[in-house]
A and B are shown apart, each in its own frame.
Chain A
Amino acid sequence: MIIDVHGHAGPWFFSTDVGSVDLNLALMDRYGIDRQIVSASEAVTYDMVSGNRWLAEVLDTQPRLLGYVVVNPNDLGGAARELEKYRPGGRFVGVKVHTTYPDRPLLSAEVRDALGLAAEAGLPVLVHTWDETVLGLVDVLERFPDLRVIAGHMGGPAWRTAVEAARRHERLYLEPCCSITDRGRFRYALDRVPLGQLLFGTDSTLVDPAIAMGVVLEDGLTDEQYDHVMWRNAAGLFGIAAEPGPGA
């Protein structure tokens, strides 16, 4: 079984034709991914309300997909309403917070309060991390006892610092997808971070799952490591029933 905790649905503004949800499913089939937790690209990059609304309609017809409610830290009131709207239905199982498009640093007050909203809602939050400030998530986790954070992209180029952060806090999870394929990057995390804090994500359909598969599986995993990284940790974190599918 494989659960991909970092997916997207919808089009992007690059020269790439990846907007169809059919492509999500085709790539999941190709790589044996059973469940994928996705955020709407529109909600991430442009309009959280219309993007989340579009994704809710998608999720109604796609049982293999689960959703992140995208929260824009510049509009915390609106974000709270989005969480009230989508949390009860059960199809949205987490919160997504980006920092690039809202133009708010990871350690800004706005992002901190957005993470606090996720904690209040009782949902894990996937946050975009791409520099050394990932270490500051440790303090944010201390502030919110119910908060569970996934450091998306494992800090990007700051992956060694992301590992240090995860070593310092048991509610900080690492997810390694990105185009950075520095040799041994995931092995570095695997050798230092408690196994229960490592997750598998792809960034599909923006990025082909081959990249994350290659990064995670380059050096081979034991069966126990494979199970925890590829699905068991995610199933526990998001409350997803372990139902063997095409990748089992």
Chain B
Amino acid sequence: MSRSPFPPVPAGRQEIGIDVDVLFGALPSRRLDASLDAATGQHVKHRIRRGLVCSLRGALFDARAGNDELRKAGDRTRFVPVGTVDVRDALTADTEIPRMAASGVRLLRLFPPEQWVEPDSAALAHVVDVAVAHGLVLLTSGDFSRFWRPFAGRGARVCFLDVHAYRVADFVVLARREPGFVASTRLLCGPDSIERIAGEVGAHHLAYGSRAPLHDVLPSALRLRTAGLDDEAWRQVAGGTAAAWLAEGA
């Protein structure tokens, strides 16, 4: 393609620091290369430096095997491992979460809708409690308007990966009283969704996520790069929030 409709991007926004929503493995619902190499290719193409990556094997088939597979995966400089437990088998959280925490894993990703788990599931609440007790940061999929409740009032640091632009009001009113609540930008697709959350509760309640390699990266990356944020807020969303979870400087 010889022409580009893309708006000019300021030099400081060429590189996105951390993508909080990366997966790898197999995806039975698609004929798609969902390998770690595929995610790497997307990140390189779209100039994303690092990602928080979780195993689809762990999400969809065998949590413990997925966590082990993840730890063996290559290129640890690009990808930070995110563990998981299967909420349908929440009894394993009592041993798997301490095992992961002992091995240095700082983040735990949950897949309630993918595992047919409802927001009022006792098992889900138990997993959250165990993860919080071990100081893990949680990442979770699911409609924010339904899935905020099991994470609230527990002092959890949690990134909601599916906060849609239509749910901005729900997120803002809860983030006002939940300092650890963060929204991934992936579905904040309105012209002012990212900007409104940053303005209402601060950019530290936002983190960039793409869901590579299951999703196209350009839509979320372009939206972030054109966001109406000042430079400090932009850097916070593009990597600072996730860096804080990892106890790193932005």
Given contacts A218-B216, A247-B5, is CB(A213)–CB(B191) below 8 Å? no
Kindly identify, within residues 175 to 216 of chain A, every residue whose CB is under 8 Å from any CB belonging to chain B. Answer: 179, 181-185, 204-208, 210-215
CB of B60 within 8 A of chain A? no
In this complex, what residue of B is CB-closest to A247? Answer: B5
CB of B55 within 8 A of chain A? no
In the bound assembly, the distance between CA atoms of A233 and B192 in angstroms comes to: 30
Given contacts A207-B165, A210-B226, A247-B5, is CB(A15)–CB(B218) below 8 Å? no
CB of B193 within 8 A of chain A? yes
Given contacts A183-B213, A183-B214, is CB(A211)–CB(B223) below 8 Å? yes
Given contacts A15-B196, A211-B223, A218-B216, is CB(A27)–CB(B191) below 8 Å? yes
Q: Among A184, A204, A230, which residue has its beta carbon within 8 angstroms of that of B32? A: A184
CB of A49 within 8 A of chain B? no
CB of B190 within 8 A of chain A? yes
Q: Is the CB of A210 within 8 A of B223?
A: yes
Given contacts A14-B169, A207-B190, is CB(A214)–CB(B30) below 8 Å? no
CB of A32 within 8 A of chain B? yes
In the bound assembly, the distance between CA atoms of A17 and B215 in angstroms comes to: 27
Q: Is the CB of A217 within 8 A of B165?
A: no
In the bound assembly, the distance between CA atoms of A215 and B215 in angstroms comes to: 9
Q: Is the CB of A183 within 8 A of B216?
A: yes
CB of A221 within 8 A of chain B? yes
Q: Is the CB of A18 within 8 A of B222?
A: no
Kindly identify, within residues 195 to 231 of chain B, every residue whose CB is under 8 Å from any CB belonging to chain A. Answer: 196, 211-223, 226
CB of B138 within 8 A of chain A? no
In this complex, what residue of A is CB-closest to B168? Answer: A15
Majority DSSP secondary structure for residues of B touching A: loop
CB of B116 within 8 A of chain A? no
CB of B164 within 8 A of chain A? yes
CB of B3 within 8 A of chain A? yes
In the bound assembly, the distance between CA atoms of A218 and B172 in angstroms comes to: 31
Given contacts A27-B191, A181-B220, is CB(A16)–CB(B3) below 8 Å? no
Given contacts A211-B219, A218-B217, is CB(A206)–CB(B1) below 8 Å? no
Q: Is the CB of B192 within 8 A of A18?
A: yes
Residues of B within 8 A of A230 (CB): 5
In the bound assembly, the distance between CA atoms of A66 and B48 in angstroms comes to: 38
Contact digits for B16-42, partner A, Cβ 8 Å, 1 yes 0 no: 000000000000001010000000000
Q: Among A17, A183, A213, which residue has its beta carbon within 8 angstroms of that of B5? A: A213
Given contacts A183-B215, A208-B190, is CB(A14)–CB(B165) below 8 Å? yes
Contact digits for A9-34, partner B, Cβ 8 Å, 1 yes 0 no: 00000111110000100010011110
CB of A86 within 8 A of chain B? no
Q: Is the CB of A214 within 8 A of B221?
A: yes
CB of B187 within 8 A of chain A? yes
Q: Is the CB of A14 within 8 A of B166?
A: yes
Q: Is the CB of B1 within 8 A of A223?
A: yes
Q: Among B191, B215, B222, which residue has its beta carbon within 8 angstroms of that of A16? A: B191
What are 11 A-B contacts defined by CB distance under 8 Å? A2-B5, A16-B190, A16-B193, A18-B192, A181-B186, A205-B191, A208-B223, A208-B226, A217-B5, A222-B1, A226-B1
Not counting A18-B192, A210-B222, A213-B6, a sample of 8 additional A-B residue pairs whose C-beta atoms are within 8 angstroms of each other reads: A14-B168, A16-B165, A16-B190, A16-B191, A32-B7, A181-B186, A207-B165, A218-B217
Complex A-B, nearest 6 residue pairs according to Cβ-Cβ distance, in ascending order: A214-B219, A214-B218, A32-B5, A210-B223, A15-B169, A210-B222
Task: Using CB atoms and an 8 Å cutoff, list the residues of chain B in contact with chain A.
Answer: 1-3, 5-7, 30, 32, 164-166, 168-169, 172, 186-187, 189-193, 196, 211-223, 226
